[in-house]
Chain A
Amino acid sequence: MEILPILSALRRNKAGALLIGVQIALTLAIVCNSLSVVEQRVERMRRPSGIDETNIFTLDNRWVGQPADLKARIDGDLAALRALPGVVDASSTNSFPLRGGGWSNVLMLTAEQKQPTAHTAIYFGDAHTLAAWGMRLVSGRWFTADEIKEFKVNDIGVPAIAVITRALARSMFANGDALGKNIYMNPAGPTRIVGIVDRVQTPFAASSWGESFIENSMFVPYEYVNNGLVYVVRTRPGQLVAVMRAAENKLFAIDSERVVGKLQPFAATRAHVYRAYRALSLILGTVCGLLLTVTAFGIVGLTTYWVTQRRRQIGVRRALGARRVDILRYFQTENLLIAGAGALLGIGLGLALNLWLATSLEMARMSLGYVTAGATIVLVLSQAAVLLPALRAAAIPPAIAIRSA
């Protein structure tokens, strides 16, 4: 089309074109970065924890005072819970996936090794943990009841055996072939890997510092004998709510001198821990929507104004032989040139913004797909917005060239 004359005319009327171009550039830069950030968050939120989420509830248990017979009490609680109708299994532990707080350790391949090979979360597991968490063994075996030892707070010692996740196995050994091998939690002694489970997230999987070892988890065969631990209960499908209520009543029936905290389905834990992500996604999504709307309206407003200013000219063009569609195409081409230039500037701004976000705020880099997606959205929006004023321009009667003096 007649690109050169359009450009020439634009150069004489820089202000308006510049304004639209800048709006488009800023919109593109913000939208593509926001989409990237939101997509990352949504991606992280969707990752499965690896346990049977829909059928599990958890609670924090703490007896009043310092009871002496902790182990008996814990065993009694668990036995009672397991006996409840609708319960598949129950176990006690120090923490569970996405809980937020928990234990972590570094792992080495030899006793002398100074630099750790991997980070891992530590979960205390008993003989029932595999069933209570609904995990899937891929190789090897779980702990047997007689392998479980007692562990009190401030105890030390390395476990003789452990079960790890597939991700951890791959972090420690090249092809993930970890079964039967030894690893070292500290120089004191080796821990032999007897089993590998499919996937279990750490308690810190939602935090930024846990991002590098999200599925590195290690189960150690200890019963955590502590006044202050977590019960994990797995129910049959559809019975979670009823069993939760029954469990609470049962525990207080056994002993009312206790505090049961955070009795909630796993879904509530997941929702709580990802609340910040969800909030960010909602805020960014809303702002992006508003941004596109405002830019679109801005284009409509400014272009309508231009059309009004150039009413006479448009009539003249029509008189000289332009068809309606030629006028339409003129404004669409003009808009495309402006939006195209704005989009190029926006791509540069977007990449610069992304670089800054990546370095100062530890956001991940944006893939080029977002840049192209953002540019497409912005160009399509721009062309759609200019359609209305362009159609109005095309409807200007050619007689205006003569009639409006």
Chain B
Amino acid sequence: MFKYYLGLALLSLKRNIVLTTLMIAAIGVGIGASMTVFTVLRAMSSDPIPEKSSELFVPQIDNWTPEDLNESPSLAGGLLDQLSYRDAMALMRAHRGVRQTAMYGVSFTVMPTIPGARPFTATGRAVYADFFPMFDVPFRSGSAWTAAADAGRANVVVVSAKLADKLFAGGRAVGRTIDLDRREYRIVGVLKPWDPQPRFYDVSDGSFSEPEDIFLPFSTAIDRQMAFYGDNNCDAEPAPGWMGHLNSECVWTQFWVELPTAATARSYRRYLYNYAAEQRSTGRFHWAPKVGLQNVRQWLVSERVVPDEMRVSTLVAFGFLLVCLVNSIGLMLAKFSSRAGELGVRRALGASKTDIFTQCLVETAVIGALGGIVGLGLTVVGLGVERTILSEDAARLAHLNSGMAFMTFGLAVFATVCSGLYPTWRASRVQPAWQLKAQ
């Protein structure tokens, strides 16, 4: 029976080719426009580490007075979004999580291995060894450094696949040295290509930029007095020099902790609160303890990682789709009404209301499918255009994977069928006898 209806649907579409084209075009354009924009939005708001996003947390401690806090531009959920060096070290020493890492961004000049080539800059991140297992960072060769290396401020680094290939042209990199800022570091590990979208662990330098090329021990970076490459916020002028910078209440360090269960998370939060209370009793803080603990998803929301521009675009695009669907309802009403004669005859020949309903619904689905194909094509074209106008970081997200393609097609069929429900219902109510007389 379905094949019969399919055949009828195709015949009917061919009969009134202008109307059919208008409908398919409207749906196709509506789907194309909305999915072009939605693809990027979805990529921006997706969970970068779904297996673990509820187990990784950012602790927040308020080490500023409430008045200074109000003036700060970088708050997440009403609290500062980075830690001071002091607090980060205290949390590291306490070691209350299964794994944890303080970190901050750095930047290096790299001497090339090819003679005659110019030196270049590369971004880096100072982390603890726990960083790699915490974030499921995949290794191509070698491994992270040991805890001893962390403690000992060793001159070791882990590099990205891209950097390793650039320096050593695909050859073995582990064990070789790399010249960073005129200092030698031994490569202990090379990563596989790793590109979490968004780059959630530090959103201060663009949420969707590529990850760093160089990872080195936190203690090493501090020991070498490497300047931070990121945001720094101070409530008051710090004491002069590097030590003054470390001892100040300026916040420039990020911190992540792994807490696998709800119970461990609760107990960590209690620990944070007690820590802040303790700082109050020692006179460092003069205000009530204010702490926070957010997991990855909460963090991405508080940090407003998805740009508002993207949200507005998506809203408008889906509004457009809605108008296209309302349009389709009208066109389908017209289409089915003009076939009232034929449908009436079918009813007289024994078709039930459900039969007519099904026949028209199948026709609607066919239109939706054709509109979906057009929409899919337009989405691909639209993404291509979008890549040229978005920023470089966002443009990397404008790609259609098979999941989104299915979603596009499915949305087209589903939306068209939904908008066809009323016209189909109207069509199924055609009276058999009355229409026959008008022959």
Contacts of B30 in A (CB 8 A): 294
Assess the B227–A64 pair: CB atoms within 8 A: no
Complex Cα gap A99–B144 (Å): 36
Sample of 11 A–B contacts (CB below 8 Å): A23-B327, A66-B181, A115-B67, A154-B245, A256-B118, A276-B309, A276-B390, A279-B390, A283-B317, A290-B320, A291-B320
A116 CB–B CB distance under 8 Å: yes
Q: Which of the residues A20, A115, A283, A290 comes within 8 Å of B313, measured between beta carbons?
A: A283
Q: Mark B226-239, 1 if CB is under 8 A from A, else 0.
A: 01000000001111
Assess the B307–A357 pair: CB atoms within 8 A: no
Given A30-B319, A65-B182, A276-B309, A20 contacting B330 (CB threshold 8 A):
yes
Interface residues of A in 252-287 (CB under 8 A from B): 252, 256-259, 261, 272, 275-280, 282-284, 286-287
B146 CB–A CB distance under 8 Å: no
Contacts of A259 in B (CB 8 A): 109, 118-121
Assess the A156–B240 pair: CB atoms within 8 A: yes
Q: Mark A17-58, 1 if CB is under 8 A from B, else 0.
A: 001101100110110011001000000000000000000000
Assess the B33–A64 pair: CB atoms within 8 A: no
Assess the A287–B308 pair: CB atoms within 8 A: no
Majority DSSP secondary structure for residues of A touching B? helix
The distance from the CB of B83 to the nearest CB of chain A, in whole angstroms, is 19
Complex Cα gap A287–B183 (Å): 54
The distance from the CB of B164 to the nearest CB of chain A, in whole angstroms, is 20
Assess the B109–A63 pair: CB atoms within 8 A: yes
Complex Cα gap A150–B391 (Å): 37
Q: Mark B305-349, 1 if CB is under 8 A from A, else 0.
A: 001110111001101101110110111011001100000000000
Assess the A280–B309 pair: CB atoms within 8 A: yes
Nearest B residue to A280 via CB reads B309
Given A291-B320, A361-B311, A298 contacting B182 (CB threshold 8 A):
no
Given A278-B389, A279-B390, A297-B22, A16 contacting B319 (CB threshold 8 A):
no
Q: Which of the residues B107, B109, B323 comes within 8 Å of A291, measured between beta carbons?
A: B323
Task: List 16 additional A-B contacts (Cβ < 8 Å) besides A272-B391, A298-B330.
Answer: A15-B422, A30-B316, A30-B323, A34-B316, A62-B121, A63-B109, A208-B308, A257-B119, A275-B390, A276-B309, A287-B33, A291-B323, A298-B327, A305-B334, A305-B338, A361-B308
Q: Which of the residues A15, A22, A279, A297 comes within 8 Å of B333, measured between beta carbons?
A: A15
Binding site for A on B (CB under 8 A): 19, 22, 26, 29-30, 33, 37, 67, 71, 73, 107, 109, 111, 118-121, 181-183, 227, 236-242, 244-245, 307-309, 311-313, 316-317, 319-320, 322-324, 326-327, 329-331, 333-334, 337-338, 386, 389-391, 394, 422, 426
Contacts of B29 in A (CB 8 A): 290, 294
Contacts of A335 in B (CB 8 A): none
Nearest A residue to B240 via CB reads A156
Complex Cα gap A125–B357 (Å): 77
A153 CB–B CB distance under 8 Å: yes
Assess the A362–B308 pair: CB atoms within 8 A: yes
Assess the B316–A287 pair: CB atoms within 8 A: yes
Complex Cα gap A246–B30 (Å): 51
Complex Cα gap A104–B120 (Å): 28
Given A66-B182, A257-B119, A188 contacting B237 (CB threshold 8 A):
yes
The distance from the CB of B224 to the nearest CB of chain A, in whole angstroms, is 9
The distance from the CB of B351 to the nearest CB of chain A, in whole angstroms, is 23
Nearest A residue to B29 via CB reads A290
Contacts of B329 in A (CB 8 A): 19
Q: Which of the residues B121, B227, B242, B326 comes within 8 Å of A26, measured between beta carbons?
A: B326
Nearest A residue to B422 via CB reads A15
Assess the B326–A116 pair: CB atoms within 8 A: no
Complex Cα gap A106–B233 (Å): 12
Nearest A residue to B206 via CB reads A100
Given A37-B312, A309-B337, A156 contacting B244 (CB threshold 8 A):
yes
Assess the B324–A294 pair: CB atoms within 8 A: yes
The distance from the CB of B231 to the nearest CB of chain A, in whole angstroms, is 9
Given A30-B320, A62-B109, A66-B181, A302 contacting B239 (CB threshold 8 A):
no
